[in-house]
Amino acid sequence: MTDLRLSATQLERYSRHVIMDEVGPEGQARLLAGSVLVVGAGGLGSPVVQYLAAAGVGRLGIVDDDVVDRSNLQRQVIHADGDVGRPKVESAREFVDRLNPDVTVEPHELRLSADTIATLPDYDLVVDASDNFATRYLLNDYCALEGIPLVHGAIYRFEGQLTTFENDGDGPCYRCLFPEAPEPGTVPDCATTGVLGVLPGTVGCIQATEAVKLVLETGEPLTGRLLVYDAMDMRFDTVEVRQNPDCPLCGEEPTIESIHDVAYEGRCTLSAD
Amino acid sequence: MRVTVDVTGEGVHEIDLERLESASPTYADLLARIELSPHEVSVLVDGRPVPEDAPVEVEQITVLRLIKGG
């Protein structure tokens, strides 16, 4: 059971949460007792980490195997010039330490795989702020099979996509939308096409919003809806997404029953062996 | 039959199936007409993806670009 007692310092720090009926001291205590795994400490991960830490999510796991590059700094706002060359998870941990002493950061400097994901501690939910299809499909499959809510976000030039997979058996998963990853090399990345620096800020903030709502168990998550943000025309479109009976993961006759069934490379399909 | 192709976030295209070369146009034929590859998008009908090689039988489709950046 969540300990509802907040210290005087916490009551002051979170006063704008505490005075709202939808959050209140109970909700803030729930956030402080909550845990979120953020996969990726880059463009999307930066605002996600920043706002979840500010909100007082008590335990933040951060996964990234990369180091800070100077070309990241145009959008990855938790890293600074002095962090260039340092592991992103360490830079992220120091950022959070400076921001909020209520938050414990668990840095995981590793590349997620079917083996390494099993070594991570449990978290209430996962935020996908990754930048590659192998990780996206692995996270989707793992969270769907384990029943862990997953907040998805992706960016491309001036466009962002977001949705939430609650993984409670009723809604769709990422494979319901995109059953297989594209052929390698057919979808460009930010390094190739560029990305508007502020774009991941907008998308990541919405991901953080979804994560906070899920921890609080309040509001309507983006389940069954894909939010598409076009920064150039300043438009938000919503696309209905339904559970796909032919989905290889959560359909009527699933072929993926374990993450160890799948080769998380290429098209992220069933292993040949 | 005239098909409305909504490429989410990018624009809407109206395509006459009779003007496509194939006698039984597929979703891949529609994508080719608007210069998209089936590798980079998912075609949705009523919120669910359809195979790219399936014949077009509806008047409204949604095309979602598959993006990976983070």
Q: Does a structural domain hold residue B47?
A: yes
Q: Is the pLDDT of residue A4 over 70?
A: no
Distance to chain B for A91, nearest Cα, Å: 17
**The pLDDT value given to residue A270:** 86
**The pLDDT value given to residue B23:** 85
A234-244 burial, b at 16+ Cβ within 10 Å, e below that, comes to eeeeebebebb
Q: Is B62 part of the contact surface with chain A (CB cutoff 8 Å)?
A: yes
Handedness of CA B36, B38, B41, B43 (dihedral sign): positive
Q: Does a structural domain hold residue B36?
A: yes
List for chain B the helix, strand, coil content (%; round to 5).
15, 40, 45
CB atoms within 10 A of CB A73: 15
Q: Does a structural domain hold residue B42?
A: yes
**The pLDDT value given to residue A187:** 84
Q: Is the pLDDT of residue B63 over 90?
A: yes
Q: Does a structural domain hold residue B29?
A: yes
Q: Does a structural domain hold residue B70?
A: no
Read off the pLDDT band of A19 (50, 70, 90).
very high
Looking up residue B36, the CATH number of its domain turns out to be: 3.10.20.30
Quote the ipTM score. 0.89
- Average pLDDT rounded to a whole number, residues A2-10: 83
CB atoms within 10 A of CB A211: 27
**The pLDDT value given to residue B22:** 84
**The pLDDT value given to residue A183:** 86
DSSP annotation string for A76-114 = -TT--GGGTTSBHHHHHHHHHHHH-TTPEEEEE-S---T
Q: How confident is the model over A223-266, as pLDDT tens digits?
A: 999 999 999 999 999 999 999 999 999 999 999 999 999 999 88
Q: How confident is the model over B15-59, as pLDDT tens digits?
A: 999 888 888 999 999 999 999 999 889 999 999 999 999 999 999
**The pLDDT value given to residue B3:** 96
Q: Does a structural domain hold residue B39?
A: yes
Q: Is B40 part of the contact surface with chain A (CB cutoff 8 Å)?
A: yes
| CB–CB contact A244 B49 (8 Å) | yes
Domain A22-270 sits in CATH at 3.40.50.720
Q: Is A190 a catalytic residue?
A: yes
* Closest chain A residue by Cα to residue B40: A187
Distance CA A181, CA A173 (A): 14
Q: How confident is the model over A110-165, as pLDDT tens digits?
A: 999 999 999 999 999 999 999 999 999 999 999 999 999 999 999 999 999 999 99
Share of chain A above pLDDT 70, in %: 98
Distance CA A11, CA A18 (A): 7
Read off the pLDDT band of A5 (50, 70, 90).
confident
Mean pLDDT of chain A: 95
Chain A residues near residue B8 by CB distance under 8 angstroms: 226, 228, 237, 239
Chain A residues near residue B9 by CB distance under 8 angstroms: 159, 228-230, 235, 237
Measure CB to CB from residue B69 to each of A190, A228, A244 and give the nearest one: A190
Q: Does a structural domain hold residue B53?
A: yes
| CB–CB contact A155 B39 (8 Å) | no
Q: Number of folded domains in chain B?
A: 1
Q: Is B64 part of the contact surface with chain A (CB cutoff 8 Å)?
A: yes
Q: Where are the domains of chain A?
A: 22-270
* Closest chain B residue by Cα to residue A179: B49
What residue numbers bound the domain in which B51 lies?
2-65
Q: Does a structural domain hold residue B50?
A: yes
